[in-house]
Amino acid sequence: MIKNSEFVSILKRMMIGKVVITATVIFSFFGVIIGIGHAMHTDTEISGEWKEILLLMLGALIGAFGKVIDHWFTDTEKDKKLIDKITSISGHGEGCECNTCIKQINKL
């Protein structure tokens, strides 16, 4: 039986990974935007190949940015089930190992 602390550690690892990926996408997106804006405002001459690369990166990051927004602002059934399982265990549900629950199990 998985204990409540194990669920919390799994949830923490999942959230850390999600936050790192989200931060990477957002910083990359704004980095490319700032780079393009800087080049436009300083009248820097950029070769055609670099323009294509920057625009391709911008297009890919716009798609990834949309996915990040969808991920954080839509509820997923998997996350709800995991949180329900954690709260049921911490609410003296199946798998609880507090002194009160252990005494009740030993009485049976």
As given in the structure block, the two tokens for residue 72 are 């954080």
Tell me the pLDDT tens digit for each residue of 17-65.
888 988 998 899 898 888 888 888 888 888 888 888 888 988 998 888 8
Q: How far apart are CA 86 and CA 33, in angstroms?
A: 41
Q: pTM, whole model, 2 decimals?
A: 0.60
Q: How far apart are CA 2 and CA 37, in angstroms?
A: 51
Return the pLDDT at 88. Answer: 60
CA angle 59, 63, 67 (to 5 degrees): 165
